[in-house]
Amino acid sequence: MKRIFAIVAAAVLTAAGCGGGGAGGGGGGSGNRLSIATGGTTGVYYVYGGGLAKQLSANIANTQATASVTSASVENIKLLASGKADIGFSQADTAADAVNGKDTFTAKQPIKAIARIYDNYAHVVVAPGVEATRVADLKGKRVSLGPANSGTQVVARRMMQAAGLNPDTDISKQQLSINEAVQAAKDGTIDAFFWVGGLPTAGITDLATSKPDTKLLDASDVLEKMRATHGEQYVGLDVDLAATYKLTGSIKTVTIPNVLLVPDKMSEQLAYDITKTLFTKKAELTAVHPEAEKLDVELGRQVAPVELHPGAARYFQEQG
């Protein structure tokens, strides 16, 4: 696994830059400069985004794409809406809030979807030596809900509420990135943390490898309440996290689709080219991260309640 991550990291560093202000989908004198808003460096969004940046740069004429580190979903949507990013990864629940102007978003956000790409899984990670078997057991403990402006924090708060906990008063709350949370769990300065991401997430693989007595909590008991309260973006319990990270027991969890978003003002042709590159370069993206293997045209169309960008819609129509 360490060798695989080293290869992945090298590929990402080649493709991903620091990121900057995007072109808003417009062409400049030297073409398109596209900023891809991703997530933390040990999460899937960043690795996947680095691979996507490389493919867009290589396959769309006069285009230079870079992947930037962010707090993920909420921040990414805000960057798209403000013209500071051109492509952004997001969880479907956060994207739904954005287009409906609810919860984190005080107004409807000007975004469209390129495609649904793969699913995220809610990880509730418990540090070695901490006693907890379900989400409700986190009461009174030191818990990171994920960084501010992240989709992880949206899901973490909803999971805790579904378990009957107040995330602001029933825990000693922290807001750490995935990198910070993994280190804090190793150091024993937090008892647990939430992370919502693809499989495997490198930071959690590292933690589970270095601290084999790390635990992941089963979240089966909170799913139905989350669906009833917040909608059907929470789609099921179809993965065993224990097997993924070589931990003991059987651990089921909440699943959330991921979507790739762009500003609604992006040109139709550029959105079409991005969508086409995403699907035609599936093999190359899968070599960067295995979650790209989930790319599928039929699944890709399923982005409701976000609307497909007209350029993406044209690509899907051509596929029949």
List, for residues 22-75, the tens digit of each pLDDT value: 444 443 345 899 999 999 998 999 999 999 999 999 999 999 999 999 999 999
CA distance 99 to 261: 11
pTM, two decimals, is 0.86
Report how far apart, in Å, the C-alpha atoms of 122 and of each of 42, 54, 158 are. Answer: 15, 28, 11
CA distance 292 to 52: 10
Q: How confident is the model at residue 15 (pLDDT cuts 50, 70, 90)?
A: very low
Average pLDDT, the chain: 90
129: region left, alpha or beta (phi > 0 left; psi from -120 to 50 alpha): left
Return the minimum-mean-pLDDT range out of 10-14, 36-40, 152-156, 280-284: 10-14
313 pLDDT above the threshold of 50: yes
| Percent of the chain with pLDDT strictly greater than 70 | 91
The b/e string for 248-274 (b: 16+ C-beta within 10 A; e otherwise) is eeebbbbbbbbbbbbbbebbeebbbbb
Q: Which of these CATH numbers, 3.20.20.70, 3.40.190.10, 3.40.50.20, 3.40.140.10, describes 2-118+258-318?
A: 3.40.190.10
3-state SS, residue 129: coil
3-state SS, residue 260: strand
Q: Which residues contact 188 (CB under 8 A, 6 or more apart)?
A: 127, 128, 129
3-state SS, residue 119: strand
For domain 121-256, the CATH class is: alpha beta
- Looking at residue 30, its pLDDT comes to 57
- Looking at residue 316, its pLDDT comes to 98
Average pLDDT for residues 167-194, to the nearest whole number?
Answer: 97
| Percent of the chain with pLDDT strictly greater than 90 | 83
> Any idea where the domains of the chain sit in the sequence?
2-118+258-318, 121-256
- Looking at residue 19, its pLDDT comes to 38
pLDDT tens, 107-120? 999 999 999 999 99
Helix extents (H) in 192-308: 202-210, 223-230, 241-244, 268-280, 282-288, 297-300
DSSP3 helix / strand / coil % (the chain, rounded to 5):
40, 20, 40
- Looking at residue 208, its pLDDT comes to 96
122 pLDDT above the threshold of 80: yes
14 pLDDT above the threshold of 50: no
CA distance 90 to 258: 6
234 within 8 A of 196, measured Cβ to Cβ: no
pLDDT tens, 244-267? 999 988 899 999 999 999 999 999
Within this chain, domains 2-118+258-318 and 121-256 share the same CATH topology = yes
